[in-house]
Structure 1
Amino acid sequence: MATAPKPLRTALIGLSSSAITSWAANAHLPGLLTPAGRSKLPITALLNSSVKAAQSAIESYKLNPGTKAYGSPEDLANDPDIDLVICNTRVDKHLETILPSVKKGKDIFVEWPVAANLKDVETLVEEARKSGSRIAVGLQRRWAPPAVKLREIIKDGVEGKKLGKILSVDIRAYGGTIDREITPEGLKYFADRKVGGNVIVIGNGHLFDTVLSVVGNLDPKTVHSKLQLQRPDVRIRDPSTNKIIDTVRSDVPDLLSLHGTLQPSNATLSYLFRRGQQFPGTPALTWTINLEHGEIRLVSQSGLNLELGEPASIHVHWFDNDKVEEVKWEWNAEQAALPPSARNVINTLIAFADRKAPGDGWVSIEDAADRARLMESFLAEWEESQK
Structure 2
Amino acid sequence: MTAAPTPLRTALIGLSSTATTSWASAAHLPGLLSPTGRSKLPITALLNSSVSAARSAIQTYALPPDTKAYGSPEDLANDPDVDLVICNTRVDRHFATILPSVRKGKDVFVEWPIAARLEDVEALVGEARRSGSRVAVGLQRRWAPPVVKLREVVRDGVGGKTLGRILSVDVRAFGGTIDRDVVPEGLAYFLDRKVGGNVVVIGNGHRGVIDTVLSVVGDVEPSSVHSQLQLQRPDVRVRDPSTNEIITTVQSDVPDLISLNGTLQPSSATLSYLFRRGQPFPGTPALTWTINLEHGELRFLSHSGLNLETGDPATIHVHWFDSNEVEEVKWDWNAEQAALPPSARNVISTLVAFADRKAPGDGWVSLEDAASRARLIEGFLDEWEKSQK
TM-score range, shorter chain: over 0.9
1:355 aligns with 2:357: yes
Greater alpha carbon shift after TM alignment, 38-47 vs 295-304: 295-304
Partner of 2:371 in structure 1? 369
Q: Report how far residue 302 of structure 1 moved.
A: 2.4
Partner of 1:309 in structure 2? 311
Distance of 2:316 and 2:203 partners within structure 1: 21
CA contact (8 A) 1:174 1:304 kept: no
Q: Deviations over 1:2-25 (max 9, x none)?
A: 111110000000000000000000
Partner of 2:24 in structure 1? 24
* AA in 2 matched with 1:203: G
1:276 aligns with 2:278: yes
Distance of 2:291 and 2:223 partners within structure 1: 22
CA contact (8 A) 1:173 1:304 kept: no
Which of 324, 327, 335 is the equivalent residue of 2:326?
Answer: 324
CA contact (8 A) 2:139 2:205 kept: no
Q: Secondary structure at the match of 1:128?
A: helix
Instruction: Compute the TM-score of the two structures, normalised by the length of structure 1.
Output: 0.99
Q: Secondary structure at the match of 1:341?
A: helix
Q: Secondary structure at the match of 1:170?
A: strand
Distance of 2:321 and 2:143 partners within structure 1: 29
1:205 aligns with 2:176: no
Q: Which runs of 5+ in 1 are unaligned?
A: none
Distance of 1:306 and 1:208 partners within structure 2: 15
Partner of 2:178 in structure 1? 178
Distance of 2:109 and 2:173 partners within structure 1: 28
1:266 aligns with 2:268: yes
Q: Which runs of 5+ in 2 are unaligned?
A: none
Distance of 1:350 and 1:80 partners within structure 2: 21
CA contact (8 A) 1:203 1:304 kept: no
Instruction: Compute the TM-score of the two structures, normalised by the length of structure 2.
Output: 0.99
Distance of 1:306 and 1:167 partners within structure 2: 26
Q: Report how far residue 304 of structure 1 moved.
A: 2.7
Fraction of identical pairs, as percent: 80
Distance of 1:309 and 1:27 partners within structure 2: 16
CA contact (8 A) 2:37 2:352 kept: yes
Partner of 1:193 in structure 2? 193
1:160 aligns with 2:160: yes
Q: Deviations over 1:271-330 (max 9, x none)?
A: 000000011111100000000010000000123322221110011101111111111100
Partner of 2:108 in structure 1? 108
Distance of 2:265 and 2:307 partners within structure 1: 24
Q: Report how far residue 340 of structure 1 moved.
A: 1.3
* AA in 1 matched with 2:76: L
Distance of 1:125 and 1:10 partners within structure 2: 22
Q: Secondary structure at the match of 1:314?
A: strand
Partner of 1:146 in structure 2? 146
Partner of 2:235 in structure 1? 233
Q: Report how far residue 332 of structure 1 moved.
A: 0.4
Distance of 2:269 and 2:341 partners within structure 1: 36
Q: Secondary structure at the match of 2:282?
A: coil
* AA in 1 matched with 2:139: L
1:134 aligns with 2:134: yes
Distance of 1:156 and 1:61 partners within structure 2: 44
1:285 aligns with 2:287: yes
Partner of 1:63 in structure 2? 63
